[in-house]
Structure 1
Amino acid sequence: MTQSKKELVLAAMDNKPVDRVPCGFWFHFLDDEIHSDSFQHPELMEKVFEGQTRYIDTAKPDFVKIMTDGFFPYENETAMNLKTADDFKKIKPLADDDKWFTQQIAYAKRLTERYGDELAMFFNVFCAGTTVKFMQADISKSEEFLANAVKENPQAVRQGLDVISHDLAKLAKRLITEGGVTGIYFSLQSLLGVSPETYKEVLEPGEKEILAAANSVSDYNILHICGYAGHHNDLTLYKDYDVKTINWAVVVEGIPIPEGRKIFGNRAALGGFGNLDSELLYKGSKEEIQAETKRILAEAGRQGVILGADCTVPRDTEWQHFEWVREAAK
């Protein structure tokens, strides 16, 4: 019997044989996905919902990464306006009935009730460090701000990040148990200017807590080691993170799927294509995109592989390009 799309994706994540290699791509639906605030402006959530459902209904992807444009802000008064490392000690957890939880869970449920039986659906969740960076008014200086705070007072920053991570862990678990998602798509990055030892001391504990919470209610979660805008990561930092499937920036890191899978103990991989408007998935012809699909699979094999991109693709990518990949992957 032919595997359904959901069965294909879960089998690939389990490193089992598949009828065909599944694929999936995603993009943002709001012009400013970082600073848009759906908690204060619910009409933005409706815009994202309309865009997401139109994409699913029209492009018919093999799985869905639920985009969270407008949900990037951590709506917690005690975490606003972080200026110094000591400010992190002021962060207090949110109540379980806070709209930061309830609105995201309700949004997930709207989508899973519509598509969850036929498609694996993964809700985007950022780590605490990325969440803090998104809360800075000047995103171009956010990496430097967090790195400096960590170096100034690692204990204080760890205290604050642990509070945020605890809320994110609660959210991850509830998105699965109440929102009905298959799992989370957990996005994180190495912190430039901070040693691996300090990263493990300050950031890793909260990140592992979030994954543990998601893993406690679903075997199917994805780790995204984000290479957005050319950000380089130390993949070895994450080799012992407990997660079924890993998505790293193959093109940005210069680490193809077979090499990356060795780092992660041959766990399933999601990716293969670059995500910039200068790259093949965006600007290539059908022949070029399908030839690249076949090249990637000849190199990576057809088991334990889900075709995708380094990260979010440009908003104006032609959806037909995704279908060309799927055709070639059969």
Structure 2
Amino acid sequence: MTYQKKENLRQMLEGKPHAHVPVSFFQHLNPWELSGEACVEAHIRFCRRTEPDFLKIMHDGLTAPVDLNLTELSELKAYRPGFQNNPYIRKYLDRAARINDRLAGDTDTWCNVFSPFTLLRRIGEERFFTFFREDPQAIRDVLLFLGEDLAYLSRKLIEDAGCMGIFLALQGAESGLFTPEEFSDFIAPSEQLVITAMEESSPYNILHFCGWNQIKNQLELWKDYPANTVNWAIYVENLPLTEGRKMFGMRNCMGGFDNRRGKLLYAGTEKEIRQETVNILETYRKAFGSMDGLMLGADCSFLPDFETQRFCWVTDELRNWERRTAYVAR
């Protein structure tokens, strides 16, 4: 059964006939689960409870390859890639390896890697743009250095720690943040370093276009980034699965549900959630004539207090729907 789940996922990702629509959701960790064995146990417990077709290894509790507590631009400019000597990289590789070891090959994993800009903006939005206005070339250089470290990390997560691919979370394309020219000059080059590394190491990577602060993105800036699968904030972007898949060149897509507090999966009844599951599936099949290219999931990760039983309702109804419709993907 485990082999069938893993084989089914690969068949789907490769556009081959497969028996089931893969499904997976993600949930942030509690404060006491952010490191060490508690972190590993939290991932395993979530996997056992929700039985996803794959597990995303969470970044929660980790920081960045660069010190995020710096206060001066000179401190930031002193940063250089550390690769295997960087504590952040060592901690993340250890986390991923331990989780994969505990899963013992039962479930494939993707590891959540944040883009260079996503991590660097954590020094504080105001501080970042103060530095950017003061010396934009220095910021570009730092982002490239971060890209080198994260490229190294991505390779090692796949080749050494046992992850099937990278779940690369991208930010920086929010409307009004950068012009397309600024994005192309300052943000995209560092992202491409990471993407090149992960694409050279695995054919199964996922790009996540983050709906940061519920601000719409200039999605066209990412439209041609290579990856097997794309995931975007459907309900922030107002871009349904069917239209988004067309926009991204008919690549595999992941999503369906809104992850925000108070929305259906958080607040709806079991009946409503099951009905929406069927609605998502039927709408997709009507648009494309099959379920090819779909992984059922959500716009982003859910908060720690989310009731995981609600994920199980979706998975159960998905399997019921497949039985009712005698579903077999082409």
Equivalent in 60, 77, 99 of residue 111 of structure 1: 99
Alignment partners' CA distance in 2, 1:196 and 1:127: 17
Determine if contact 1:45/1:70 at 8 Å carries over to the other structure.
no
1:245 & 1:276 partners in 2: Cα distance?
22
> 176-185 or 1-10, which moves further after superposition?
1-10
Offset of residue 87 of structure 1: 5.4
Percent same amino acid among aligned pairs? 35
Q: For residues 9-43 of structure 1, give each alpha carbon's deviation from its aligned partner in whole angstroms, at most 9, with x where no partner exists.
A: 2233223333121111111113399xxxx7xxxxx
Counterparts of 2:237 and 2:283, CA distance in 1: 17
Shift of 1:117: 2.0
Once the two structures are superposed, the pairs formed by residues 56-71 of structure 1 within 5 Å of their partners are 56-71=47-62
Structure 1: distance between partners of 2:277 and 2:20 = 13
**Residues 274-313 of structure 1 aligned to structure 2 (within 5 Å):** 274-301=258-285, 302-313=291-302
Q: Distance in 1 between matches of 2:126 and 2:231?
A: 25
2:38 to 42, 47, 50: 47
Two-structure CA RMSD over aligned residues (Å): 2.3
The equivalent of 2:245 in structure 1 is 261
> Cα distance 1:231–1:148, how it changes in 2: closer, same or farther (>3 A)?
farther
Q: How does 1:154-173 map to 2 (within 5 A)?
A: 154-173=136-155
Contact kept in structure 1, 2:2 and 2:107, CA below 8 Å: no
Match status 1:121 vs 2:121: no
Deviations 1:108-127 (A, max 9, x none): 11111222522220011001
Deviation at 1:162, TM superposition (A): 0.2
In 2: Cα distance, 1:76 partner to 1:145 partner = 15
The answer to whether the Cα contact below 8 Å between 2:260 and 2:302 also exists between their aligned partners in 1 is: yes
Measure how far apart 1:228 and its partner are.
4.0
Gaps of 5+ in 2: 286-290, 320-330
Measured at CA, do residues 247 and 294 of structure 1 come closer, stay the same or move farther in structure 2, by a change above 3 Å? same
- 1:204-262 per-position Cα deviation (integer Å, ceiling 9, x unaligned): 11111101101111101111111143132111111111111011000111100111111
What one-letter code is carried by the residue in structure 2 that aligns with 1:300?
A: Y
Of 58, 64, 67 in structure 2, the residue corresponding to residue 74 of structure 1 is 64
User: 1:320 aligned to 292, 309, 317, which one?
Assistant: 309
Does 2:170 correspond to 1:188? yes
Are 1:15 and 1:267, in contact at CA under 8 Å, matched by a contact in 2?
no
**CA–CA distance in structure 1, aligned partners of residues 185 and 294 of structure 2:** 32
2:13 counterpart residue number: 13
* Partner deviation per Cα, 1:43-101 (whole Å, 9 max, x = no partner): x3332222111111222221100012111x12445x751544x6543221114233322
Partner of 1:41: none
SS of the residue corresponding to residue 239 of structure 1 reads coil
Rounded Cα–Cα distance in structure 2 between residues aligned with 1:3 and 1:283: 35
Q: Is the 8 A contact 2:24 2:297 kept in 1?
A: yes
CA gap 1:285/1:16 in 2 versus in 1, 3 angstroms: farther
Equivalent-residue separation in structure 1 for 2:71 and 2:225 (angstroms): 28
Does the CA contact (< 8 Å) of 1:188 and 1:225 recur in 2?
A: yes
C-alpha distance in 1 between matches for 2:224 and 2:202: 18
Shift, 1:151, TM fit: 4.6
Asked whether the equivalents of residues 228 and 311 of structure 1 are also in contact (C-alpha less than 8 Å), the reply is: no
5+ residue gaps, structure 1, are 39-43, 137-141
Equivalent AA in structure 2 for residue 114 of structure 1: R
Counterpart in 2 of 1:243? Answer: 227
Matching residue's letter, 2:154: A
- SS class of match (2:259): coil
Work out whether residues 22 and 326 of structure 1, in 8 Å CA contact, stay in contact via their aligned partners in 2: no
Matched with 1:139 is none
Amino acid paired to 2:195: L
Change in Cα spacing, 1:313 to 1:163, as seen in structure 2 (3 Å) is same
CA contact (8 A) 1:29 1:47 kept: no
The whole-number CA distance in structure 2 between the counterparts of 1:82 and 1:166 is: 23
Q: 1:128, 1:82 → 2: CA distance?
A: 18
Do structure 1's residue 28 and structure 2's residue 10 form an aligned pair? Answer: no
Distance 1:231 1:10 in 2: 33
Q: Which is further off, 290-299 or 5-14? A: 5-14
The one-letter amino acid of 1:91's match is Y
Task: Report the 3-state secondary structure (helix = DSSP H, G, I; strand = E; otherwise coil) of the residue aligned with 2:31.
Answer: coil
